[in-house]
Structure 1
Amino acid sequence: MSLLECQNLSKSFGTVEALKSTNLHLDKGSPIALIGPNGAGKTTFFSLLCNYIQASSGDIKLLGEPIDSPKIQGRIGSLPQDAQLDRELSIVQQLSFLARLQGFSSAAATQEALRVLGLVDLAESADKKPQQLSHGMNKRVLFAQALIGDPELVLLDEPTAGVDPNNARLIRNIIEQQSHKQTFIISSHNIAELEKLCQRVLYIEQGVLQEHQNHQSDTGSSAVIDIELCQEQAEQLHQQLSRLPSFQRADSRNPRHLLIRYDAKEKGFDRQLLDLLAHSGIEYQQLKKGLSLEDQLFSESNS
């Protein structure tokens, strides 16, 4: 089923084109990453999807309906990056109020508030006020409000920004658990985190938004192995790689890392590499086939 359709969508602020003319079609399914540098237009795009601001031109459809259609009320949840909680009200009071705005009765709103707090493992904190909770716990409360009413589409703008690793892991786990029934679009500067969660990627830079085509396994005639070594032996390994007949070249970010390219037709290169490591006494910490999402998006050496 259609999740999102944009036709010639653009947004300008004065003479600045925050989002240039965009055509996009996405279906429901696995989480979608929204990636781009600061000022690229990510927040503008989210604000258009939430109908917080009006487009300068073009049309948006969400779940097959126009952005301003009453038929999508309650079917979309969002977590803005700068969302705040009211310090004077308890957590359950605030979430119950938001549920009432979606049409829940008073009793049902309280039950819904407790349900989403349970999803983020904060049911026992329902009667506390925000100042009694840690920053990470408050972030989980804000995430919970985006899940009120079981929306089909959930927009998350920097959901783990500024939180400790444990709370970030909890939020990632919840996204994974809920993804069987909800589609998430997640904006974050943490590309490694997005790579764990998302198979689909939108990339935006200087207002140009496009769907990134994932090509982890190979780059044309070359296949790639990304290896992180236990010690600073990248140069030593690089010197020995020429022994392998299908080796093409290797690039390094630091003395413990190599991005190795080899002939994509060679199916046994990974086994040859492991044998070379063993015979050379070089230990590796991590070895994976294919380019990381960061390298796909930003490496000038992609070919």
Structure 2
Amino acid sequence: MDLHIQCKALTKYYSGIKALNGFDLELNVNQPIGIVGPNGAGKSTLFAILSGFIKPTSGEVRIMGATPNSPTIKGKLSLLPQDTAMFKGIDVFSQLKHYARLQNLNKQQAIKEVEHVLSLVQASSFAKQFPETLSFGQRKRVMLAQSLIGKPELILMDEPTSGLDPIAATEVRSLLRQLGNEYSVIISSHNLAEIEDICSDIVIMNKGKLVTHSSLSELTRSSQCFSLMLENTSDVHLSEVLKELSGISKIENDKNDMKSWLIYYDDSSAEQLQIKILTKLSEHNIAVSELKKGKALADEILEVIKNDN
């Protein structure tokens, strides 16, 4: 079976600037994968090349064994861009039906497919409305429905919840989690909470290169520390509260927030130490919101990128 994505020494120049710089990546997408990196890392350029919108300056790229824009992958690859314009004065259902017909579905097949994808994204209730009458969140659902037409083998999603209010973003993320069980999805996002919520694997890019490809669990659990979040601000430094516990090597504030702490430990049993920490905090009436092994995702990504520079 061909890899979903295969990039070899991929390079893209824009007026002498390297947006991609010898980028290498091989992916088989079985669960949602997130692509992250700072601004200028090359994420948008990578998506544009994979989608066939632009050509690389050099290097090789294959999508399911074929080049982008190859007739052999027509209907197998779909893109949900960050911002997409829809035709005014044409109802949602008609626009999606036209798109389905472009995928070689006959009229009845197109109608059935549009009804199906609108149902999947919970957008059937406004299918007969014009796009200009919809909220931003509703339009996002419509574009998500379009990306699902024909059940593509791979869907690229660029900032799928960008611009949405918190409620709409939560609803879309819930949809994406459900769709991730049926579709192969790659999500590019600056929202790390979203990546952590939806994805199982993560690809980190920086300066046009691949930094690492790892499972989220491996990445966030790689550090020998606990991330502790308290329900209320602590009046004392936790080193005073936990000083009697053996196995702890260092305790520090995470981002100078007295609710958020990093507790580093030596080779002690993490599970046993975790229980002891919770017990000791309870004895001092310190309420815990969360205690998990490893650093927060943002901290791990920053450390990985820093070590790569």
Q: TM-score scaled to structure 1, two decimals?
A: 0.93
Q: Are 1:239 and 2:240 counterparts? A: yes
Q: Which residue of 2 aligns with 1:190?
A: 191
Q: Are 1:286 and 2:304 counterparts? A: no
**Partner deviation per Cα, 1:12-49 (whole Å, 9 max, x = no partner):** 11201011111211112111101122222111110000
Q: Are 1:7 and 2:11 counterparts? A: no
For 2:77 and 2:88, the matched residues in 1 are separated by 25
Q: Which residue of 2 aligns with 1:122?
A: 123
TM-superposed deviation, 1:205: 1.9
User: Which letter does structure 2 place at the counterpart of 1:259?
Assistant: L
For 1:227 and 1:269, the matched residues in 2 are separated by 13
Conserved in 2, the CA contact under 8 Å of 1:5 and 1:25? yes
Moved more, 56-65 or 203-212: 203-212
Inter-CA distance 230–109: structure 2 relative to 1 (3 Å threshold):
same
User: Which letter does structure 2 place at the counterpart of 1:270?
Assistant: Q
Superposed, which structure 2 residues align to 1:30-41 within 5 Å? 30-41=31-42
Moved more, 240-249 or 59-68: 59-68
Conserved in 1, the CA contact under 8 Å of 2:204 and 2:210? yes
TM-superposed deviation, 1:129: 0.6
User: Which letter does structure 2 place at the counterpart of 1:84?
Assistant: A
TM-superposed deviation, 1:68: 3.4
Q: Which residue of 2 aligns with 1:215?
A: 219
Q: Which residue of 2 aligns with 1:261?
A: 264
Q: Which residue of 2 aligns with 1:175?
A: 176
For 1:142 and 1:281, the matched residues in 2 are separated by 49
For 2:68 and 2:105, the matched residues in 1 are separated by 22
For 1:77 and 1:98, the matched residues in 2 are separated by 12
For 2:209 and 2:296, the matched residues in 1 are separated by 22
Moved more, 154-163 or 103-112: 103-112
For 2:40 and 2:222, the matched residues in 1 are separated by 31
Q: Which residue of 1 aligns with 2:87?
A: 86
User: Which letter does structure 2 place at the counterpart of 1:83?
Assistant: T
TM-superposed deviation, 1:101: 1.2
For 1:79 and 1:286, the matched residues in 2 are separated by 34
TM-superposed deviation, 1:234: 6.7
Where structure 2 has 5 or more consecutive residues not aligned to the other structure, the ranges are: none
For 2:151 and 2:107, the matched residues in 1 are separated by 18
For 1:203 and 1:215, the matched residues in 2 are separated by 11
- Taking only the aligned residue pairs, the percentage that are identical comes to 34
TM-superposed deviation, 1:183: 1.1
TM-superposed deviation, 1:105: 1.3
For 1:11 and 1:205, the matched residues in 2 are separated by 14
For 1:212 and 1:241, the matched residues in 2 are separated by 36
Q: Which residue of 2 aligns with 1:143?
A: 144
TM-superposed deviation, 1:59: 1.1
For 2:225 and 2:87, the matched residues in 1 are separated by 50
For 1:84 and 1:209, the matched residues in 2 are separated by 31
| DSSP-derived class of the 1:154 partner | strand
What is the root-mean-square deviation in Å for CA atoms of aligned residues?
Answer: 1.9
The runs of at least 4 aligned residues of structure 1 exceeding 6 Å deviation read: none
Conserved in 2, the CA contact under 8 Å of 1:17 and 1:207? yes
Q: Are 1:155 and 2:156 counterparts? A: yes
TM-superposed deviation, 1:187: 0.9
Q: Are 1:58 and 2:62 counterparts? A: no
Moved more, 100-109 or 141-150: 100-109
Conserved in 1, the CA contact under 8 Å of 2:238 and 2:251? no
For 2:112 and 2:212, the matched residues in 1 are separated by 39
**Partner deviation per Cα, 1:122-180 (whole Å, 9 max, x = no partner):** 11211101122111111111111111110110000011001122222222222222223
| DSSP-derived class of the 1:67 partner | coil
Q: Which residue of 1 aligns with 2:103?
A: 102
User: Which letter does structure 2 place at the counterpart of 1:46?
Assistant: F
For 1:255 and 1:210, the matched residues in 2 are separated by 32
For 2:168 and 2:149, the matched residues in 1 are separated by 20
For 1:299 and 1:17, the matched residues in 2 are separated by 23
| DSSP-derived class of the 2:242 partner | helix
Conserved in 2, the CA contact under 8 Å of 1:24 and 1:210? no
For 1:12 and 1:99, the matched residues in 2 are separated by 35
TM-superposed deviation, 1:202: 1.2
Q: TM-score scaled to structure 2, two decimals?
A: 0.91
